Structure 1
Amino acid sequence: MRSVSIFMLALIVMLTGCNTKESQKNMHTSTVEKAFIGNYTRDEGWVNGKAEGIYRISLGSNGTELSLDETAAPLINPSFLAISPDKNHLYAVSELARPDEETGFVVAFHINDDLSLEYIGKYPSNGQAPAHVSVHPTGDMVFAANYLGGVAMVYKRNEDGSLEATQQIDVEGSGPHQNQDASHTHMVKVSPDGKYLFIPDLGSDKIWTFAVDTESATVSPTDQEFASVAPGSGPRHMDFHPTLNIAYVINELNSTLSVFDYDPASSSLQEKQVVNTLPEDFTEWNSTADIHVHPNGKYVYSSNRGHNSLAAFSVDASTGMLTFLNHTSTEGEIPRNFAINPNGEIVYVANQNSDNITVFDLDTETGKLTFTKKELEIPTPVCIVFYEE
């Protein structure tokens, strides 16, 4: 009788443990994530912006629920967003480039407890069409890249979220493609350790490199000064591998992806592989837009505008080199930015011209993406930034 009682007790404990784990699992999958959406708000000729400003949306972590919460802040063409490491502030570019608009702006907001945005101020980007903004990992500095003018900006970030311009970076160059008449800085990417700033320049086929001084909130050219890609490539965005000293650069104009060995001691980038993001038989217009390395380091994804797909690649665990896996339709037109959710299991894609955000399951064992048939209608979305508490 005693042995039976012990057996029953053990069984109850085991079942309780299983139920607890299942409850925890269900709790995880039902978690609602929040994200801010950048977009275009007016017709610029090449894009018919229809949004009202920065949006905030709710996303079920299992991809089954999407909803538009509110217009968090009215702003003209907030096409790229960044959140400070302390989660207190959001920074948006205001992408202005009409003839009577001499400069765009970086606009600062306080993120309130209810995730509403409170305006702090706007700061000239000293160039037209600011296309990217980023915050240093320490939170001490903010950077912006202007597509027009060959200008990037450096700002000191104050405790209240306001900014002070500390430096203007001017670069020059051109290339053989019709879109390479001059430098077009397209991203301001800080290295994972915060020591360096990298600026992909679509117009000159260069990735400019700078050493970062957080004390003075300034940067200075490194010994290498820049890394190059093939003429006519048009480097646009880049990302770093989470554990290997490898950087990946997406090239907009020739739809390729470059793999670089990265030396964190010197900032040096040495290109060692170039892969195509398109099917061999695809001959229509295409340009790439965004690139992300999966948090587990096993996969790299890039977006194709025209082919309207995400290209997936597997990563060699020792060299960081890429092997093509597959293409997945984004179920929309002109996919710009896309985002992998914090747990690495869902991908959200901002389809600019079809006015929708589409949701994909991501198999972390194979890298495969599967459309969940869930989408959110939202005007002209081009940037998705998660708010992680």
Structure 2
Amino acid sequence: MKVLIGGYTKKTSKGIYELPFTGENSDSRLGKAENIVSIGGPTYFQKDDDLIFAINNAGDKGGISVFKVNESGSNEVDRYLTPGSSPAYVGINRDKKWLYTANYHTAVLSVFRYNDSGKLDLITTTTHKPESLGPRPEQADGPHPHFFDETPAGNLVCCDLGNDTVDFYRLENNELKHLAQYKNEAGFGDRHIVFSKDGNYFYVVGELSSKINVVKFNEDTWDFEDIATYKTIPDDFTEHNGAAAVYISNDGKYIYVSNRGHNSIAVFKVNDDHTLSLVQRVSTFGDFPRDFNWDESEKYLVAANQNSDNATLYLRNTGTGTLTPIQKDIEVPEGTRVLFTK
């Protein structure tokens, strides 16, 4: 097993790094980070077998690049770049070979198809408009899509930080058809979203509010019911914080949210009525944890600290949901995206 970490390339990072994973349980360790993909600003990426689909910040252009990776290294097989900033998120359906990108700066959502060799085909795009911009300074300059991926029923969903909205789409005749919209409180700053295992609830994280909102919804009628909202940071924490990544365990019992500023991961238990109970806030032992992720068994979790150039390895208790740090100060530069791989 290995861990891939990529992020910004503003200081010393050269792109995506691979860290070997050895040992078991509390003796598990991550080894030295080795650069395997050289690319500008791979702040998010996905993997399908030997293909890596990475955000590419190529100076005055931005987009995604596809790399084929093997034991001897990596080579770029295709790219799609447009003038301006690069996207913030890449979603994937490996069965259908679809890619979805959300561009925070240009407000463009894109859908791609790819083949076995990694060649890209742009299917369609749509651009968010400034329909309900929030009151915070980060929202004043327009819509900011930060997430674009699939729903449990196979529709598409976008979180828009600028508009404080969750927007739902369907791909019809290679065009994106807008289906519905859920509006969060002003200044919420929608960033990322996960769904309950029965597909009847979603949990959306607000970056600007440091909150997670539980919503019951029907993907046939598009009815929404606001269930509850919870802070991801302590009430007495007054310094700047931006909530970031959110993951839900495969059994649907626990939700995890990273806090950039408070520099922690908040662990919530999902109750029978889908309300949440705080289980733990655990330090990431670094500064600005944008992303974290776990292995297939969800026994091991790695958080990357962007500003302090380090990562932390945890052992996860699958019964209680709690995280126990077992390795700190793992050197990796400017990490913003974590992905376990075989």
- CA gap of 1:308–1:121, structure 2 versus 1, over 3 A, is same
Aligned-partner Cα distance in 1 for 2:32–2:169: 39
1:243 Cα offset (Å) = 3.7
* Superposition pairs of residues 1-389 of structure 1, within 5 angstroms: 33-42=1-10, 49-60=11-22, 62=25, 64-68=28-32, 70-84=34-48, 87-95=49-57, 101=60, 103-112=61-70, 114=71, 116-124=73-81, 127-173=84-130, 174-181=133-140, 182-193=142-153, 195-213=154-172, 216-222=173-179, 224=180, 226-266=181-221, 269-317=224-272, 319-388=273-342
Give CA-to-partner distance per residue, 1:234-274, whole Å, 9 cap, x none: 00111122345221111000100011213233565543211
Once the two structures are superposed, what CA deviation does each residue of 1:98-129 show, in whole Å capped at 9, x if it has no partner? 7xx2x3111111233x3843211110256523
State the alpha-carbon separation in 1 of the partners of residues 192 and 57 from structure 2: 17
Which residue identity is paired with 2:2? K
- Contact conserved, 2:29 with 2:327, CA < 8 A, in 1? no
Secondary structure of the 2:31 match is strand
User: Which 4+ stretches in 1 moved above 4 angstroms?
Assistant: 266-269
Q: Which residue of 2 aligns with 1:45?
A: none
One-letter code of the match for 2:249? H
How high is the sequence identity, in percent, across the aligned residues?
29
CA contact (8 A) 1:79 1:95 kept: no
Give the number of the structure whose residues are more often strand, by fraction: 2
Q: Secondary structure at the match of 2:25?
A: coil
Distance in 1, matches of 2:32 and 2:96, equals 29
Where does residue 7 of structure 1 map in the other structure?
A: none
Work out the CA distance in 2 between the residues paired with 1:108 and 1:125.
15
The one-letter code of the counterpart of 1:295 is: N
Instruction: State the AA in 1 paired with 2:36.
Output: A
Q: Cα distance 1:129–1:283, how it changes in 2: closer, same or farther (>3 A)?
A: same
Matched residues, number? 337
In the alignment, the residues of structure 2 paired with residue 374 and residue 334 of structure 1 have an alpha-carbon distance, to the nearest angstrom, of 15
Q: Distance in 2 between matches of 1:171 and 1:79?
A: 22
Does 135-144 or 197-206 show the bigger shift?
A: 135-144
Unmatched segments (≥5 aa) in structure 2: none
Unaligned runs of 5+ in 1: 1-32, 43-48
Secondary structure, aligned partner of 1:200: strand
| Equivalent AA in structure 1 for residue 109 of structure 2 | A
Contact kept, 8 Å, 1:255 with 1:287, in 2: the verdict is: yes
The answer to whether the Cα contact below 8 Å between 1:350 and 1:358 also exists between their aligned partners in 2 is yes
**1:125/1:146 contact within 8 Å kept:** no
For the residues of structure 2 that align with 1:68 and 1:262, how far apart are their CA atoms?
44
- Partner AA of 1:343 in structure 2: S
Distance in 2, matches of 1:164 and 1:268, equals 34
Do the aligned residues in 1 keep the contact of 2:105 with 2:144 (CA within 8 Å)? yes
Structure 2 length as normaliser, TM-score? 0.92
Aligned counterparts of 1:132 and 1:373: Cα–Cα separation in 2:
28
C-alpha distance in 2 between matches for 1:268 and 1:198: 15
CA distance in 2, matches of 1:116, 1:296: 36
Root mean square deviation, CA, Å:
2.0
Q: Deviations over 1:331-380 (max 9, x none)?
A: 11101100022111121101011111101111111111111134420111
1:127–1:240: structure 2 CA closer, same or farther, 3 Å change rule? farther
Amino acid at match of 2:25: N
CA deviation vs aligned residue, 1:128-164 (integer Å, no higher than 9, x gap)? 2311111124333211111112111111212321111
